[in-house]
Structure 1
């Protein structure tokens, strides 16, 4: 296990280095600079600002400096937010996105597994058809349309929840459900297809012939073996959903990391774009590692080792 973790951490650092390098050079390849839109500022002041932020340094010097700042987790100042650093923006925005994402993730996993199991247990019956209709709607309807629909019905017409903003438990409900619809639908379909395959196995038939109850057979034998593809999907899903979904945060006026990322693109705030991309990559790599470790917990037959088998 120790050798496996060491090897995975080494690959994570290599992947992160490549991501940081690619992000840096892609940002530098974009025409213009963060001060391109500042038409009313005198040229002398613009040159002074570029010199202050090191934008006049040779490209390789900027690259080495940026690698050093990332290594010390100093992602630099924001070009557009006065007196704020990228670290400040991440520290302020990520807890909000994490709260929203965790709520949406819990909804997606809970409802997705329940719908998938029900659809598999009652295959080709009305329960199956109902669950799959819900899943198809979750996949087909774009998140921004669903978010607008939820706002119109449950906030404007019924008045049960606030239309937007952030800060109270009620303000979490609508964006969390809007954010969870798509992953919930995928989890339901994955669970259903794998449950149907597992339920057809001989050991499930043997368990039923021994007089085990339907709940015991489903929970102890079928569901556990059907979870592997779902666990695989949860890795990148958790990373994206916990760092914030840009569209949902913009629609509901949530001050999360996603809204800062969208704003930074429009403002050409390169340090914020690169910093949030690096932060997202770290979360993604970490979640993929957790998924690999979860394989050994879900299925004891999978042995983690450093031999690469």
Structure 2
């Protein structure tokens, strides 16, 4: 019963968050004044603005408009794109596979390498190897994504001509954007794994395992790593949600046709139905990933069930 209450509470919190995001997304449309005048071209006359306002339902009371908007969101309808004259959700679904592919590859290689480097640094604490790993991790978090992306293009595309600099279609086009996107997360995961493992390795049950003559790697793999995973999984969940919500800078620099690039194009062209769809989708991803992370807590730490 306590486990069910925990899960139900987290699910209810997620619904409240989504409702709050829908309020912000809807009313942000009216912050700049008349949404019809904002969404139409600057040369639109008064008659065209009035007709567009009537067609979009902007003449209805604000609560009626929000109820209609919320009903459309619950049914998966965000309206038609003003630029492409197609349902906004269809454009979102078209771009989702590209963003999901890039996010999964970036998070996969950065997580695997980050876990390895963080574990090595924790076991060899205060050694030269630990110092080198910490320096590299610090540099990875300090280097801006856009600067690293441009550097990768200059070196591997323009100078060496080993890899393409943009586009999607082959595995070679995935290498540079996944490296640029995953470098920061590699550094963050490495530092977090190291810090978590060092804390866990100081616990009494770890000292008992050492007294029994177990090797360092056996202690880490079978005893320490599971308890050290809780903060790491939290961070990974947030990283994956942000990646799946759209990596704006990376997708723009590498001309990657994902959700982030769709959002930027929609903002530039004042395509508000698409902007609303992207923002609500990103919020849904964050809520869903955090809910899954909470469920993972129940498996990693049985004390949470109590």
For the criterion TM > 0.5, the same-fold answer is yes
Task: Please name the residue that 1:203 is paired with.
Answer: 205
How many matched pairs? 303
Task: Please name the residue that 2:54 is paired with.
Answer: 51
State how 1:236-247 maps to structure 2 within 5 Å: 236-247=238-249
Task: Please name the residue that 1:137 is paired with.
Answer: 139
How many angstroms does 1:32 deviate by? 5.0
CA distance in 1, matches of 2:271, 2:227: 46
How many angstroms does 1:25 deviate by? 0.9
Q: Which runs of 4+ in 1 moved over 6 A?
A: none
Q: Deviations over 1:270-308 (max 9, x none)?
A: 11111111111111111111111111212233316xxxx
Task: Please name the residue that 2:285 is paired with.
Answer: 283
Task: Please name the residue that 1:24 is paired with.
Answer: 26
CA distance in 1, matches of 2:17, 2:42: 39
Q: Quickly say closer, same or farther: Cα 1:45–1:30, change in 2 above 3 A.
A: closer
3-state SS, counterpart of residue 29 of structure 1:
coil
How many angstroms does 1:34 deviate by? 6.0
- The alignment yields a C-alpha RMSD, in angstroms, of 1.7
CA contact (8 A) 1:34 1:268 kept: no
CA distance in 1, matches of 2:246, 2:169: 16
CA distance in 2, matches of 1:32, 1:180: 41
CA distance in 2, matches of 1:34, 1:116: 53
CA distance in 2, matches of 1:228, 1:272: 36
Q: Which runs of 5+ in 2 are unaligned?
A: none
Q: Deviations over 1:92-148 (max 9, x none)?
A: 111111110011111221111111111111112121111111111111000000111
3-state SS, counterpart of residue 305 of structure 2:
coil
Task: Please name the residue that 1:307 is paired with.
Answer: none
Task: Please name the residue that 1:166 is paired with.
Answer: 168
Q: TM-score, normalised by structure 2?
A: 0.93
Q: Deviations over 1:182-225 (max 9, x none)?
A: 12111111111111112222222221221212221111112221
CA distance in 2, matches of 1:61, 1:180: 44
